[in-house]
Structure 1
Amino acid sequence: MITEYDDEPIRGLPGELPEGETLIWQGSPEWRLLARSALFTRIVGLYFAVLVALAIINGSTTGVIATLIAGAIGIGLLMLYAWAVARTTVYTLTSRRVVLRIGVALNMCINLPLAKIGGANLRPLGPVEGDLALQLIGPHKLGYLVLWPHARPWKLGNPQPMLRALPDAAVVGERLARAVANFVPVDRAQEQVTSQGQTAPQANAMSAGLQGAVA
């Protein structure tokens, strides 16, 4: 599934598309949303705000200044990393596979055949923004640390690739559902995937054609 990134005849892909395979969608994480949802910059900011408040209560001017500087540096580094991740990440959906081109220092491409995708889960992060986690069928060799931050949180034993901080997550989910429905046999294309936080019509539109359910 994993091939080392070297050259890109097509952006985000390790080679030309084979005959009969078509490009359906490409996108990247929105870096500000990625910083908030995956790197928890708001929680980190709140933590430093509490430290500043405690320093003020204790009357430590030096402590206030030092905490403000440390907080600014910490949050700044997290946001810089989020920007770098978004800049180097390309998610691709074709008629046969999902490809994740990831890695800030060392790029790699992870190819996920549609036949290996048994379910999907949409985690809303806004009106149309969100994360899209992919549940894979059967054993695989994808490690959590290899995928991170493009991995569903806390799924350490059975890592699930996640398309992070998508500005059009609902649209991508629908396109993925249609692609899988068109690819797999009809008897496997069951509308059983649920989408957390969505209304029933939205969940049905998102999950049409995908097999299984993601909790």
Structure 2
Amino acid sequence: MSHDDFASEPVLGLPETPPVGEKILWQGRPDWWALSKESLSLKWVAGYFGVLALWRFVSVIDLMPFGQAFGAAFPFVIMGGVVIAMLVIVGVVQARATVYTVTNRRVAMRIGAALTVTLNLPYTELGSADLALRKNGNGTIALSLLGKTQLSYLVCWPHVRPWYMKRTQPALRCIPEAAKIAEMIAEAAQARVTTPRVERRAPQMAALAAE
């Protein structure tokens, strides 16, 4: 299900060349701005520092002139800006280090900026794909796993369905044209699951079975 991706990639986003018969249907990355907002809670961080600045301003406005009160609150605005800038940088780095790949046999996710890992998720081991769609067409596709397969929430973050820690669901986060990609995954998975598997036996074994 996973592969440590320290070696060079023969194909972008994949740890090895796809086997015969496997075709890449789509590759893409998260939208860095949407990833920063959703996974790093930029709005909440901005609101927090905004409340601190407002509280500081209101608490001193009756003790000093307007300009001085604004100056007393302004450091919180600066701190908030610095924190938000740092979070945006993290979002950009995470997005650029990520490659999502959809083939006719699996979904592969090359994730991680510091520790790069590739998750190989065959359709035969996926239970469902849940789409969370935004108004602008961006969205997140969360993949639930069958059986006893377990993935680490921290290793996969932020490429996971938020707060599903007990049963981690890897996710294609904040991708453009998410509805189109979700339909592509559904069609490929349906075709893969319903394709009969033919096993070849050695001639000697086949002859013994006939006798």
TM-score interval, normalised by the smaller of the two chains: 0.7 to 0.9
- Give the aligned residue type for 2:24: L
Conserved? CA contact 2:40–2:87, under 8 Å: yes
Corresponding residue number in structure 1 for 2:209: none
- Give the aligned residue type for 1:131: T
Q: What is the Cα deviation at residue 65 of structure 1? A: 2.4
Measure the CA separation in 1 of the matches of 2:18 and 2:28.
17
- Give the aligned residue type for 2:100: Y
SS state of the match for residue 129, structure 2?
A: strand
More helix per residue: 1 or 2? 2
Measure the CA separation in 1 of the matches of 2:74 and 2:182.
46
- Give the aligned residue type for 1:164: R
Q: Deviations over 1:70-122 (max 9, x none)?
A: 10111111100000000000000111111000001111101001101110111
Corresponding residue number in structure 2 for 1:9: 10
Conserved? CA contact 2:94–2:112, under 8 Å: yes
Corresponding residue number in structure 2 for 1:105: 114
- Give the aligned residue type for 2:110: R
RMSD: 1.5
Corresponding residue number in structure 1 for 2:53: 52
Corresponding residue number in structure 1 for 2:171: 162
Conserved? CA contact 2:150–2:168, under 8 Å: no
Measure the CA separation in 1 of the matches of 2:152 and 2:71.
44
Measure the CA separation in 2 of the matches of 1:32 and 1:23.
26
Corresponding residue number in structure 2 for 1:211: none
Corresponding residue number in structure 2 for 1:35: 36
Q: What is the Cα deviation at residue 61 of structure 1? A: 4.6
SS state of the match for residue 184, structure 1?
A: helix
- Alignment counterpart, residue 149 of structure 1, candidates 146, 150, 158: 158
Gap runs ≥5 in structure 1: 187-215
- Give the aligned residue type for 2:82: I
Measure the CA separation in 1 of the matches of 2:73 and 2:177.
40
Measure the CA separation in 2 of the matches of 1:63 and 1:120.
50
Conserved? CA contact 2:130–2:141, under 8 Å: yes
1:73-88 to 2 correspondences below 5 Å: 73-88=82-97
TM-score, normalization by structure 2: 0.85
Corresponding residue number in structure 1 for 2:104: 95
- Give the aligned residue type for 1:165: C
Q: How many residues align structurally?
A: 187
Gap runs ≥5 in structure 2: 61-68, 196-211
